[in-house]
Structure 1
Amino acid sequence: MNKNKDQIIANAFSEIRDFYDQHGRIPIRREREAINTIARRYFGTWNNFIAAAGYEPNVKKTKAQITEGLFNMVHDFYQLHGRIPMRREFTRKNGTICKYFGSWNKFIAAAGYEPNSRRIPSKMKLKNSLRQYYLKHQKVPTIGDCLAKNGLYNHCSYFTHFGLNSWPDVLEYVGLRPYFRVTTMTDAEAKEEVINLIKKHKIKYGKIYEKLKPENFPSLWYLKEKFGWNNLCYMAGTKIPVTKFSVKDHYLNLKKNTSKPTAKELAKKMKISPSGIVWKLNQPLNDFILSIGHEPAHKTPTRCKLTKKQLVELYKSKSLAHGYPNGMPRDKLQELTGYSRDIYEKRFFSMNGLRLVCNFKLPFKGGKKYSEEELRDILNKPPYSNQR
């Protein structure tokens, strides 16, 4: 054996041993692609290489074999320690356990043991944590404060145990005043006052509003949730953002002058490209126009779902029924068959190609003249070939 080859294989074996010492298992093939190349070159397969390195290759096991192995691990742990394991003690198997059992506690129950009870705080402790935070910091806690701990529990715990869905409801439940709720004004009054304030100070950004707003005004969070900050700025005249509100407003203004404004006309008025409007709306412009109760100027033509044979039968029957023994003229296609000339020419290359399939006489008037043989050759070509 070549000395260089021996060295390459020895280095590969050494890397496998290091991985096993570090992780307690042999690597998966995709985790060591460089070694996989060496394994296939000198040993034929990855499993042959692993066996040559002195380890047992991974074999794809059935669900029953995997679950049985997990149960045996739990039983061995219980015999050794006199208790069931905690989840962090089976970290390497957590992914497999969640895949086959859904959760750690379901796995423990399936193994025949009683799961450890969860350490859940009482409702009184949850209430007191929020009140103590308020007394200590002289401010109402937010979800951000919960995430930063500060003596508080996770915000999801409050939602779960109080049976509520929003943070303002949680604060009102424990007797605290939500700082982002309107308290002295109705929704209509708040909207009017905020628009006047934006006009007075020519406010464009929410941060400036938070600095200038009086104490009894609603918070920026409330305005965004209730009205939309950009919509308020648009109504106050400080900026023209591309929102559903502003697009609808511009479209209705254009509609006063033209019956059906096009996308280009709307984009020109708003000083943005049509694709920019679509990106901001996150939906096709025609769908948006239909959603506000108007008909778009241009629509995508209805797709023809008939086969070639069905189109031929339709064209032939309608032509004979209306007194056209050699096929109806082009200007009658839409009226009599319901499909335009483009659809027929896309399927049959030209109107003469359609007449040829229908066994009608070919007029050979105008345009490039094709013989019957040439037309048959074109029609017999596969659909993906260039027909023109």
Structure 2
Amino acid sequence: MQEENKSPQSEVTKEEEIDVKAATGTASKIIIAVIILLLIVGGILAIYFFSLKPASERKMELSKHEDFMASYTAMRATGYDEFWKCVFPLATEEQANSNLKLENIIKNSISQNEEGFGKHILECLPSLKKHLDSSKEIKGPPEYSESLKELPSALEVLYSSWKILGEWFANAGERNKWDKRLDDVTEKGWGQMYVDAEKRQKSTDETMRNARRYMKFVTCSVGKTYQELGGKTGSISDVEANLVASVLGSGGICSSPEKAMERFDYIESKCVPYLTSPEPPPPDADWDFVAKKGIYYETRSLAVIAGSWEGQDGCIRAARKEKEKVMIQNLFNGWVGYKKVAKSIEDIYRNKIKELKK
């Protein structure tokens, strides 16, 4: 009877409780799903926004490297590249990628007009000097610091090497003048010193003037006066023997091209003017010694100085060839040094751009 007395209202309440529980469970699941979805979206957005900063930084860094390379390329174009095209309009750098190739290009350039080519180099040099000066001011990202620090030094060596070579070739005309004077020494007997009364009367003033020129040139070249060459005896034979030894003996000026080159600059700057100056040097104590001893100086030692030095295979020509060889080698070394630094800058840029564009 009691079961029959259950009211319909109690049945409805139970059903409602079940519906509420079901609805609550569904709502919880929905909330959890929404939270998970929000977390996923938030994570994606976080990753996206965090990725925006490095990308912008890469873009800025890329721009810095590109701006630097644009400035560097412009500096080189109006400096080194312009200089090279000026000096060798028909030769590329690749054609001068060895010392021998560079030497051949230079020899071909001077074959027609050595002095003219030297002056041409000097006319082109301002472009290289401009590059040198600009290299001291250019700035770039930190990656280039070491190379940019080395760049001015490398360009200084290259500039100096070209300047020395240009001045050397440009001075060819002056060297030709004293070549001619050495020919005069041989052909016109500048070594003749007529000092006794009879021969003095037969000699001319010009003969004596040239004799003094030649004597000063000889003693300046070997670094000893006739009195010093004569030693303790002061005999004519000792003078001549010691003079020959000073030039051709072991360790003498003309004993090797290297030895000749060591003395060449001094002879050219200090001794040659005695041959080429309009007025001969005045008589001095050494000339008085020559006059007192009655030295007649013409044959053997004259051949040593004039023949050994001026001949095609002589001491002076050998010294000049050796000097040019060394100057061209120094130039090539300077060129290699500069190219090494320039390549390091280009390699850093290339690798950095590749890295930033990944």
User: Higher relative contact order at CA 8 Å, sep ≥6: structure 1 or structure 2?
Assistant: 2
| TM-score exceeds 0.5 | no
In terms of fraction of residues, the more helix-rich structure is: 2
TM-score range with shorter-chain normalisation? under 0.3
Max radius of gyration: which structure?
2
TM-score by length of 2: 0.24
